[in-house]
């Protein structure tokens, strides 16, 4: 529910300033109509379904944001969006939380079925053991939609296994992950890491560093700049980060492409790893964890 509040509370509680409204008929409160009202103000979130709530004149709207489905409410006039909880006082329970848990369970079951279809039950069980609690955080990405024009790789070019790394040159956890990635590459030759540059807006120098990397023709030079950037991050050297950046129009295009891909698949942070078969996991991982996931997916 915290994610629910943070995503939507800052958007709108009231869609219009007027307190004079008239209810629409139930048949007129359709997904299409609610989409038209809500989606323009929900920052990329999608309306999935609409149904009556237990409260008179209030309708439950299931919205998908960053890969998660959560319930919000809209009144019968489609003028007011409510992002709080509906609590049954007699039963002493939150109907909103119950619905959120139900949606999460449905999503988990759907994801498990999809994973078993892609990997088979044996590999899914291995993946569960490899990831532990993080197994529930898995998302599935269509690797054919990954924009590959601006990628460059670390590791064996002929490796059978590919991990795509969504990374930001100014991100401390990306710098931390880079150290673990190098440990993996030191001990195995069957994997390569393809780099998807994804400068987060709140990192002051990341955008220009990414632009410079993209416009370097040599893959060796690209890696040198990214390595220097991570070294500067680990050393807290902001002056070096500023020196590494350079504006470049092609780099700006690359950033737009990568952000569009990230938006489609709910990527909002770095590092994010996309393992073989499109298995996506957000957050940094140790070399041991990476190896276990790779071995489970072989």
What pLDDT was estimated at residue 19?
54
162, two tokens: 């590919």
Q: What residue ranges of the chain have pLDDT lower than 70?
A: 1-20
Residue at token pair 């001990």:
187
What is the set of domains in the chain, with CATH numbers? 2-91 (no CATH), 120-297 (3.40.30.10)
pLDDT of residue 52: 94
Cis-peptide into 271, omega within 30 deg: yes
Q: How far is CA 84 from CA 11, 20, 36, 81, 97, in A?
A: 13, 22, 21, 9, 10
pLDDT recorded at residue 119: 94
Pairwise CA distance, residues 208 & 222, whole Å = 13
Residue 58: predicted pLDDT:
94
Instruction: Provide the 3-class DSSP secondary structure of residue 17.
Output: coil
Q: Which pLDDT score, from 0 to 100, does residue 67 have?
A: 73
Q: Exposed, middle or buried: residue 100 (CB in 10 Å: 0-12, 13-18, 19+)?
A: buried
pLDDT at position 2 is: 46
């Amino acid at each position: 529910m915290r994610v629910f509040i943070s995503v939507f509370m800052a958007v709108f509680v009231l869609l219009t300033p007027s307190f004079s409204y008239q209810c629409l008929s139930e048949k007129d409160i359709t997904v299409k109509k609610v989409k038209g009202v809500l989606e323009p103000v929900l920052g990329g979130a999608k309306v999935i379904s609409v149904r009556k709530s237990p409260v008179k004149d209030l309708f439950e709207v299931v919205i998908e944001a960053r890969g998660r489905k959560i319930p919000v409410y809209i009144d019968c006039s489609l003028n007011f969006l409510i992002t709080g909880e509906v609590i049954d006082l007699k039963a002493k329970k939150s109907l909103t939380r119950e619905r959120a848990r139900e949606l999460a369970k449905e999503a988990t079951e759907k994801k498990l079925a999809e994973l078993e279809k892609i990997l088979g039950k044996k590999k899914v069980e291995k993946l569960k053991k490899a990831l532990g609690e993080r197994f529930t955080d898995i998302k599935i990405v269509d690797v054919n939609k990954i924009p590959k024009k601006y990628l460059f790789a670390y590791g064996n070019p002929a490796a059978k296994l590919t991990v795509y790394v969504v990374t930001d040159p100014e991100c401390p956890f990306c710098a931390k992950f880079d150290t673990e990635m190098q440990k993996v590459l030191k001990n195995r030759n069957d994997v390569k890491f393809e780099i998807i540059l994804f400068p987060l807006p709140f990192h002051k120098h990341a955008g220009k560093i990414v632009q410079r990397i993209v416009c370097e023709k040599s893959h060796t030079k690209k890696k040198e700049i990214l390595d220097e950037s991570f070294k500067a991050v680990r050393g807290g050297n902001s002056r070096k980060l500023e020196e590494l950046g350079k504006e470049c129009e092609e780099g700006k295009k690359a950033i737009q492409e990568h952000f569009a891909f990230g938006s489609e698949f709910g990527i909002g942070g770095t590092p994010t790893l996309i393992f073989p078969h499109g298995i996506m996991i957000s957050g940094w991982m140790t070399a041991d964890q990476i190896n276990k996931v790779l071995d489970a997916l072989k």
